[in-house]
Chain A
Amino acid sequence: MYKYDEIDQQIVDERVTQYRDQTRRYLAGELSEDEFRPLRLQNGLYIQRQAPMLRIAVPYGMLSSKQLRKLGDISKKYDKGYGHFSTRQNLQLNWPKLEDVPEILADLATVEMHAIQTSGNCIRNITTDQFVGVAPDEVIDPRAIAEIMRQWSTFHPEFALLPRKFKIAVSGTKNDRALVQAHDIGLEFYRDSNNQVAIKVWVGGGLGRTPILGTVIREHLEWQHALTYCEAVIRVYNLHGRRDNIYKARIKILVKALGIDEFRQQVEAEWAHLKDTDNTITEAELARVAQHFDAMPYENVPAHDASFDAAIASNPAFAAWVKRCVHAHKQAGYRAVTLSLKPHGQAPGDISSEQMWAVADLADEYSFGELRSSHEQNLILADVKLSDLFALWEKARANGLASPNIGLLTDIICCPGGDFCSLANAKSIPIAKAIQMQFDNLDYLHDIGDIELNISGCMNACGHHHVGHIGILGVDKDGSEWYQVTIGGKQGNDASIGTVIGPSFSADEMPSVVQKLIEVYIQERTPEERFIDTVRRLGVAPFKAHVYAKNEVVA
């Protein structure tokens, strides 16, 4: 992964100094609440219900074992001994003290980490596929460009105070796993007819209060122009995006208001001036950064391993884990492994300091000292030898990291919700836990098969509920917490926004509502259909009818 040089390190160190002084001035009363707010937000610090929340950047989800070990130390020293992986692949601390944040940043800087632009109205952490670099369906590894974009967007002076937050995702796979259509800008890398690296640019997607999938603004962009083209897009947005109404301030609203054709024309007019200016990426810079993402020094191992096959045959628990948590790999004899942060009955995405240390050790022992976080809020060891899987599984299981539920109903994407977040209308974690306990039967979960259930505690949609096959949204009705249910949302190349099935439910009703949705699926599915396929074939009606039926006896 990318390693800092002196220039990178100096910027992060100077940020610590800058933020230390900003905090000092705030505490001394030299900065008002309103003046300090954008400063602390652009450093990932929210003021929450119980304590501040600090969001630490994990650029495009890549972590070294050294970094994770330090995160374990920090969460132990400054927090309550745990952290939370978010749907933007970042790590959140729920209980730091505002006064301690400069020290936390200084600790982070020792392992090439920071909290720069993890919140606020600026370009946020750039996200990508958690299997980047190892996925068999990958065409282009976009991490080098993602790192170049991270550097370019860090303290970009023109875009320091945008109308609203700005999220960029990059993807280089045939099957999109990075939600490029749900971002302010989505960059889809591919090889063009001349076998050159090119980018399909999506713009104006986003979840939140007004969920909209992005539109293609440019089918073909040469990779050299990634920065200048984004500058053109964001300049048009910076100048013309609405600043009078926070709910109408995202770029998607501007794109819809102008229409994609007019918006594209304005961007192209701007880009005519910016194209080939100094921020054009050079071959040399791409090569310099790309070497940090060279393939790991894989051993030449056979594609099959007898001990692995034997363990599968003799140990059903291991076999179940392999089925759900082990993924195909470019390299023969290697696999990617997801360590589930979704054990039943715990807050999705939460991880203790001890688990962080344990995962760091596992990464060192089995996966070249690196790991990734996913937007589904799990951790991934990307480069594990087939012959090591059994030993890894035993250690992961001993640390509560081997729930065989990846991609199943209990692998719930969930925001921190009303337990922590001051924006939330309703709690989300207790709903996730209740659903996990309702479906705490592995055979049944495996029978239900691939399904994505996403929960957000408010319409800001951190839990990506719009693109969940089942989406649950916390809403406020006369001061009490209710839950609106959508079905038919989906991430990926054929992304869609879910449809609301009807009036909302109380928290107590939610496990049985999900149960009823699953019952309809089980009854109606064809042998090869996943839940989402059945919903797309039948539409909302039969699901709605069963969920809202009164006193119906289920056959």
Chain B
Amino acid sequence: MSNLIKLNNGVASLVEDDWTLIQLPATQVEERKQAGKVVLFKLTGEATVTDAQIADTVIPATGKIILPLSVFIARSDEFKNRIAQGEIGVWLATHEILENLTQHQADLNTLPIIAIFVERFADGRIFSLGNLLRTRFGFKNELRAFGDVLRDQLYFLKRSGFTSYLVRADRSAQEAIASLNDFTKPYQGAVDEPRPVFKRYNRGA
């Protein structure tokens, strides 16, 4: 059974995944540790993508695919037509720089889907990335979380603009759906409801 939850007009249900996620091939290069280096602060301890990995990534000739950001940028000439046909999405990891995508692809809404990979569920950068994609860069299509996606983060993901959630394979997505609605009247404005509570309700004098 599918472990993909998708929101449709605010209603969540389990759906079959019609996208194929394309991974980078494994690398022999060791991770770059940049502890203390200010310029590369956000890369601390996280893997960087090599040219060889990008070149060696196998891109299926047909079907709807979600490409790693680095491949999408470096090899975009290979699938220009497929972008126009809505067959190409992009994924990025939480430490990757969103502006690399937005500078390369001026109109994000030509992409039917953008996905964010969260390696550890406790990595809250994913929430800011979702927020920026929606509010800063005006992305309107499917925004998906995948990786270490667990039930107790779904509510925050939803509020941060994510509309689909590929729950980690060893957990029940069916049960997780309930947590999308843990709270009915949130205090602060966020992506799904920009108005804070004091602008939505008359809370009396």
Asked if A305 lies at the interface with its beta carbon under 8 angstroms from chain B, I say no
Report the separation of the CA atoms of residues A159 and B125 in the bound assembly, to the nearest whole angstrom. Answer: 9
Report the separation of the CA atoms of residues A239 and B116 in the bound assembly, to the nearest whole angstrom. Answer: 14
* Residue among A244, A248, A279 making CB contact with B188, cutoff 8 Å: A279
**CB-CB < 8 A to B205: which residues of A?**
288, 291
Segment with Cβ contacts to A, from B18-26, B52-60, B102-110, B149-157: B149-157
Asked if B63 lies at the interface with its beta carbon under 8 angstroms from chain A, I say no
In the assembled complex, the CB of B128 is this many whole angstroms from the nearest CB of chain A, namely 5
**CB-CB < 8 A to B159: which residues of A?**
157
Q: Is the contact region of chain B dominated by helix, strand, or loop, or is it mixed?
A: loop
Chain B, residues 182-204, CB within 8 Å of chain A (1/0): the string is 11111111110011111101011
Q: A151-B188, A240-B42, A278-B194 are in contact. Are A158 and B131 (CB under 8 A)?
A: yes
In the assembled complex, the CB of B160 is this many whole angstroms from the nearest CB of chain A, namely 5
B122 A161 Cβ-Cβ under 8 A: yes
In the assembled complex, the CB of B174 is this many whole angstroms from the nearest CB of chain A, namely 13
**CB-CB < 8 A to A121: which residues of B?**
122, 124
Query: Which A1-52 residues have C-beta < 8 A from chain B?
Result: 5, 7, 10-11, 14-15, 18, 22, 35, 38-39
Asked if B136 lies at the interface with its beta carbon under 8 angstroms from chain A, I say yes
Q: A22-B152, A39-B152, A157-B155 are in contact. Are A278 and B199 (CB under 8 A)?
A: yes
Q: A5-B204, A14-B184, A244-B45 are in contact. Are A282 and B199 (CB under 8 A)?
A: yes
A158 B185 Cβ-Cβ under 8 A: no
B121 A288 Cβ-Cβ under 8 A: no
Asked if A549 lies at the interface with its beta carbon under 8 angstroms from chain B, I say no
B124 A160 Cβ-Cβ under 8 A: yes
User: Which of A153, A258, A285 has the most B CB atoms < 10 Å from its CB?
Assistant: A285
Report the separation of the CA atoms of residues A288 and B125 in the bound assembly, to the nearest whole angstrom. Answer: 34
Asked if B35 lies at the interface with its beta carbon under 8 angstroms from chain A, I say yes
**CB-CB < 8 A to B38: which residues of A?**
257-258
In the assembled complex, the CB of B202 is this many whole angstroms from the nearest CB of chain A, namely 10
**CB-CB < 8 A to A161: which residues of B?**
121-124, 127, 153, 156
A162 B136 Cβ-Cβ under 8 A: no
B44 A238 Cβ-Cβ under 8 A: no
Asked if A243 lies at the interface with its beta carbon under 8 angstroms from chain B, I say yes
In the assembled complex, the CB of B145 is this many whole angstroms from the nearest CB of chain A, namely 12
Measured CB to CB, the nearest residue on chain B to A228 is B189
In the assembled complex, the CB of A488 is this many whole angstroms from the nearest CB of chain B, namely 29
Q: A7-B203, A243-B123 are in contact. Are A154 and B155 (CB under 8 A)?
A: no
- What is the size category of the interface that chain B forms with chain A? 35 or more
In the assembled complex, the CB of B170 is this many whole angstroms from the nearest CB of chain A, namely 10
**CB-CB < 8 A to A162: which residues of B?**
124
**CB-CB < 8 A to B194: which residues of A?**
277-278
Measured CB to CB, the nearest residue on chain A to B189 is A278
Asked if A193 lies at the interface with its beta carbon under 8 angstroms from chain B, I say no
**CB-CB < 8 A to A163: which residues of B?**
124
| Interface residue total, chain A, C-beta cutoff 8 A | 47
A156 B152 Cβ-Cβ under 8 A: no
**CB-CB < 8 A to B79: which residues of A?**
none
Asked if A441 lies at the interface with its beta carbon under 8 angstroms from chain B, I say no
B150 A158 Cβ-Cβ under 8 A: no
Query: Which B92-123 residues have C-beta < 8 A from chain A?
Result: 121-123
User: Which of A153, A159, A239 has the most B CB atoms < 10 Å from its CB?
Assistant: A239
B201 A7 Cβ-Cβ under 8 A: yes
A159 B184 Cβ-Cβ under 8 A: no
**CB-CB < 8 A to A285: which residues of B?**
198
B196 A152 Cβ-Cβ under 8 A: yes
A157 B190 Cβ-Cβ under 8 A: yes
In the assembled complex, the CB of A521 is this many whole angstroms from the nearest CB of chain B, namely 41
Q: A18-B182, A285-B198, A288-B203 are in contact. Are A279 and B189 (CB under 8 A)?
A: yes
**CB-CB < 8 A to A277: which residues of B?**
189, 194
Measured CB to CB, the nearest residue on chain A to B158 is A157
Q: A22-B152, A157-B155, A243-B123 are in contact. Are A282 and B41 (CB under 8 A)?
A: no
A152 B203 Cβ-Cβ under 8 A: no
A151 B197 Cβ-Cβ under 8 A: yes
A278 B195 Cβ-Cβ under 8 A: yes
* Residue among B136, B160, B185 making CB contact with A7, cutoff 8 Å: B185
Asked if A196 lies at the interface with its beta carbon under 8 angstroms from chain B, I say no
**CB-CB < 8 A to A239: which residues of B?**
42, 125, 128-129
Measured CB to CB, the nearest residue on chain B to A291 is B205
* Residue among B46, B127, B150, B195 making CB contact with A160, cutoff 8 Å: B127
User: Which of B38, B187, B189 has the most A CB atoms < 10 Å from its CB?
Assistant: B187
B184 A242 Cβ-Cβ under 8 A: no
**CB-CB < 8 A to B136: which residues of A?**
273
* Residue among A7, A153, A159, A257 making CB contact with B127, cutoff 8 Å: A159
Query: Which B128-181 residues have C-beta < 8 A from chain A?
Result: 128-129, 131, 135-136, 150, 152-153, 155-160, 179
* Residue among A151, A242, A284, A291 making CB contact with B44, cutoff 8 Å: A242
Q: List 25 A-B contacts (CB under 8 A).
A: A5-B204, A7-B201, A7-B203, A11-B187, A35-B121, A155-B155, A156-B188, A157-B157, A157-B160, A159-B127, A160-B124, A160-B127, A160-B156, A163-B124, A227-B196, A238-B125, A239-B128, A239-B129, A257-B36, A257-B38, A258-B38, A278-B194, A278-B199, A279-B196, A285-B198
Known: A11-B185, A161-B127, A279-B196. 18 other contacts (CB 8 A): A5-B203, A5-B204, A7-B185, A14-B182, A14-B184, A15-B183, A35-B150, A155-B186, A157-B127, A157-B155, A157-B191, A159-B127, A235-B131, A245-B44, A254-B41, A278-B189, A278-B195, A288-B203
6 A-B pairs with least C-beta separation: A161-B124, A157-B159, A244-B45, A285-B198, A278-B189, A157-B156
Which of A's residues lie within 8 Å of B, judged by CB? 5, 7, 10-11, 14-15, 18, 22, 35, 38-39, 121, 151-163, 227, 235, 238-240, 242-245, 248, 254, 257-258, 273, 277-279, 282, 284-285, 288, 291
